[in-house]
């Protein structure tokens, strides 16, 4: 075993890897951007080195800088975590070429699964069922329309190099094909520098089930059970649980197909094979050639440390056990606590966490890098923490999750906690009969009736700052503030503290962003594309601009019709929250 490990990542996954490395007696080296100087992973590592500015392209995506730091620090191995360079075969080859150990699968496996068109071909050859669709790239709009005629509607247009819901657009009618194709290709270029698009039949509200794979370099390929990841917004997961509520036939089929898929590319690390399941059918979706965000769920069921196993097999060790040794017990659920405002279409909400308290108790785990004063940068993902629970049964796991969410306190930014708490009481969630289209419909149903101030937000407050404490006859009452006046809010702030933002709940949101004659950017971000042109007419709801914030593309639409009088930003410009993009007259 080697002695010193560099973690080429940030946030909770860097903290997660550092913890396991310490238990294994390894010295740790962190890297950080200028925005992360005070980050928890920097504090926890044995050594830390500056990469560069906050922008990932100048820091966490700089292959040469990372390898140079690894060599200078005396690190013998690099763990990429997830995201950033984790599934970059060129980075893996550069690490190996520098004489360092790569904690991940061999580069050819990353290549095989990194391009979704190639992956579909490989799975067809391996006898793994795939969603009906093409195995060739779509070159133009005519090709997209032909795919719709061949495979039917709704049609999914997907980035070949994509993942995490990016570069994935759905066309439910022939009229939507052009917009879906153009948007998918634009996102594919922006996120993956690869505009290749392919098409497959879109399954309405299937279950998204993934299999945790663990393999070594000596031919052993095992699974650590399947997870249900169907509760998603923007095709990105918010709630994951295991075991998945599928039939025994589907469960066994997915396990066999997932192992066959891994064996077909000689896989040799921790990884995840993803499927869509509908009734008694299931189809290969993609393979993630890295440690997955929700690996914690499988760890809670199995008692295994998957990062430890990942490091062991990278160092050439045999797993040393067979499938029968992996025993899955009870039920586990993970929810992602994100700095997002569900009331505004899950728009990212960067800012500073002023107060922070994690839940605890039996069967509760929190993976996070947050703390009071932690700044959530618009340059990175919006996730604050992963809250994970375990219990002997599913219903007890949901009850434990309710309790843990009620204990969680985050002040300073809106979060997904109120939405997650409401999901715990939803009949479709309790009955485990939800699919990939359930969450966004559920969030929309929580919005108040048009024209009225009433709300159906969950009973649990999103943060302690939304609650006014009152004592009556020596009994303490907590009153939840829906429309607190500014003076009342200010009185709650600690002396000398910053002014407190107005409380934000699951209120209504239109797919527009405007105030008066101005179309406003609802978040801090970068203008990917400015659609509005001075002097042209726009209709209410028409796309005006696309703003990227915290790894999300946000379509900004006109809140009313009119003629474009002024355009304030161009593609590539950085804009602040609530700043005007366009003025209409």
What is the arithmetic mean of pLDDT over 301-308?
Answer: 98
Given pLDDT bands bounded at 50, 70 and 90, which one contains residue 107?
very high
Q: Measured between alpha carbons, how far is 340 from 415 in angstroms, rounded to an integer?
A: 5
- Asked if pLDDT for residue 201 goes beyond 90, the answer is no
- Domains of the chain and CATH, by start: 4-103 (3.40.50.20), 132-201 (3.30.1490.20), 207-443 (3.30.470.20), 514-584 (2.40.50.100)
**Token pair 């600690």: residue:** 494
The per-residue DSSP string of 385-423 comes to: EEEEEEESSHHHHHHHHHHHHHH-EEESS--SHHHHHHH
Which pLDDT tens digit goes with each residue over 228-241? 999 998 888 999 99
Query: Within 10 A of 75 (CB to CB), how many other CB atoms are there?
Result: 27
Structure confidence at residue 190 (pLDDT): 79
- pLDDT-wise least confident of 334-343, 356-365, 557-566, 576-585: 576-585
**Please, which pLDDT band fits residue 132 given cuts at 50, 70 and 90?**
confident
For residue 497, report the phi and psi dihedrals to the nearest 5 degrees. Answer: -80, 170
Cα Rg of the chain (Å, integer): 24
**Angle in degrees, 0-180, between the axes of helices 116-125 and 248-264, rounded to the nearest 10:** 110
Tokens in use for 152? 């039917």
**pLDDT at position 551:** 60
Name the residue with higher pLDDT: 335 or 501: 335
Given this model, what pLDDT does residue 162 score?
A: 67
Q: Tokens 């133009």 correspond to what residue?
A: 140
- pLDDT tier at 495, thresholds 50, 70, 90: very low
Residue 54 has pLDDT above 90, yes or no: yes
- 502 has pLDDT over 70: no
In contact, 349 and 341? CB cutoff 8 Å? yes
Place 69 in a pLDDT band, splitting at 50, 70 and 90.
very high
Q: Which stretch of 37-51, 352-366, 493-507 has the lowest confidence by average pLDDT?
A: 493-507
For 14-23, write each residue's pLDDT tens digit: 999 999 999 9
Per-residue pLDDT, averaged over 391-408, amounts to 98
- Contact call for residues 545 and 569 (beta carbons, < 8 A): yes
Q: What percent of the chain has pLDDT over 90?
A: 66
Edge-to-edge strand order for the sheet containing 207-215?
Answer: 281-288, 270-278, 207-215, 221-233, 236-242, 331-338, 383-391, 364-368
Highest mean pLDDT among 89-93, 199-203, 551-555, 573-577 belongs to 89-93
CB 369 within 8 A of CB 15: yes
**Model confidence at 452, in pLDDT bands (50, 70, 90)?**
very low
Task: Check residues 417 and 462 and name the one with the higher pLDDT.
Answer: 417
State what percent of residues in the chain have pLDDT above 70: 87
Q: What is the pLDDT of residue 88?
A: 96
Overall average pLDDT of the 309-332 stretch:
98
Nearest by Cα to 214 from 202, 205, 223? 223
With a cut of 80, say whether residue 479 has pLDDT above it: no
Q: Does residue 483 surpass a pLDDT of 90? A: no
Name which of 49-63, 70-84, 172-186 the model is least confident about: 172-186
- Mean of pLDDT over the chain: 87
Residue 473 has pLDDT above 80, yes or no: no
Residue 476 pLDDT more than 70? no
Half-sphere exposure of 219 (CA within 13 A, CB side): 0
Closest to 199 in 3D by CA, of 160, 245, 250: 160
Q: What is the mean pLDDT of residues 201-223?
A: 95
Token pair of 460, please?
């649990």
Per the model's pLDDT, the better-predicted residue between 307 and 513 turns out to be: 307
More confident of the two residues 18 and 159: 18
pLDDT digits (tens, 9 = 90+) for 511-545: 356 668 999 887 767 888 899 999 999 999 899 99
The backbone torsions φ and ψ at residue 387, rounded to the nearest 5 degrees and listed phi first, read: -100, 120
At residue 457, the pLDDT reads: 34
């Amino acid at each position: 075993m080697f002695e010193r490990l560099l973690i080429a990542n940030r946030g909770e996954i860097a903290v997660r890897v550092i913890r396991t490395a310490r238990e294994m007696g390894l010295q740790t080296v962190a890297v950080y951007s200028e925005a992360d100087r005070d980050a928890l992973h920097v504090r926890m590592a044995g050594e830390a080195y500056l990469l560069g500015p906050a922008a990932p392209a100048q820091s966490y995506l700089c292959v040469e800088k990372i390898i140079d730091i690894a060599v200078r620090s005396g690190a013998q191995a690099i763990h990429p975590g997830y995201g950033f360079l984790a599934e970059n075969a060129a980075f893996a080859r550069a690490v190996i070429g520098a004489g360092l150990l790569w904690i991940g699968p061999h580069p050819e496996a990353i290549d095989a699964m990194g391009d979704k068109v190639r992956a579909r071909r490989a799975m067809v050859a391996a006898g793994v069922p795939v969603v009906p669709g093409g195995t060739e790239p779509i070159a133009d709009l005519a090709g997209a329309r032909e795919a719709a005629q061949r495979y039917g509607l709704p049609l999914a247009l997907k980035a070949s190099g994509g993942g995490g819901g990016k570069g994935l657009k759905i066309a439910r009618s022939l009229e939507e094909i052009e917009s879906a194709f153009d948007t998918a290709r634009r996102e594919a270029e922006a996120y993956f520098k690869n505009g290749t698009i392919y098409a497959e039949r879109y399954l309405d509200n299937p279950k998204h089930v993934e299999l945790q794979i663990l393999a070594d370099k000596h031919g052993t390929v095992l699974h650590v059970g399947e997870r249900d990841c169907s509760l998603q917004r923007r095709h990105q997961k918010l709630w994951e649980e295991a075991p998945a509520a599928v039939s025994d036939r589907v469960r066994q089929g997915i396990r066999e197909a997932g192992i066959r898929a891994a064996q077909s590319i000689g896989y040799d690390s921790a990884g995840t094979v993803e499927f869509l399941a509908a009734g008694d059918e299931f189809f290969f979706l993609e393979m993630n050639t890295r440690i997955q965000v929700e690996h914690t769920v499988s760890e809670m069921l199995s008692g295994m440390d998957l990062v430890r196993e990942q490091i062991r097999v990278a160092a050439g060790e045999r797993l040393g056990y067979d499938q029968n040794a992996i025993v899955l017990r009870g039920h586990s659920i993970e929810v992602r606590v994100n700095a997002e405002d569900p009331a505004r279409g899950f728009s990212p909400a960067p800012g500073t966490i002023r107060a922070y308290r994690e839940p605890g108790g039996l069967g509760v785990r929190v993976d996070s890098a947050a703390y009071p004063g932690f700044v959530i940068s618009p340059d990175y993902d919006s996730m604050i923490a992963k809250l994970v629970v375990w219990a002997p049964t599913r219903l007890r796991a949901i009850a434990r999750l309710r309790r843990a969410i009620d204990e969680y306190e985050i002040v300073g930014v809106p979060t997904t906690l109120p939405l997650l708490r409401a999901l715990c009481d939803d009949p479709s969630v309790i009955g485990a009969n939800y699919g990939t289209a359930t969450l966004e419909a559920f969030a929309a149903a929580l919005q108040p009736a048009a024209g009225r101030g009433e709300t159906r937000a969950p009973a649990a407050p999103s943060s302690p700052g939304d609650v006014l404490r009152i004592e009556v006859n020596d009994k303490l009452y907590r009153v939840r503030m829906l429309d607190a006046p500014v003076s009342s809010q200010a009185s709650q702030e600690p002396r000398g503290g910053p002014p407190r933002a107005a409380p934000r709940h699951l209120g209504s949101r239109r797919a527009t962003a405007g105030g008066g004659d101005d179309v406003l950017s609802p978040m801090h971000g970068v203008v990917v594309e400015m659609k509005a042109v001075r002097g042209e007419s726009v209709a209410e709801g028409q796309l005006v601009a696309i703003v990227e914030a915290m790894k999300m593309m946000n379509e900004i639409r006109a809140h009313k019709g009119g003629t474009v009088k002024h355009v304030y930003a161009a593609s590539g410009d950085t804009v602040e929250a609530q700043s005007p993009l366009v003025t209409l007259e």
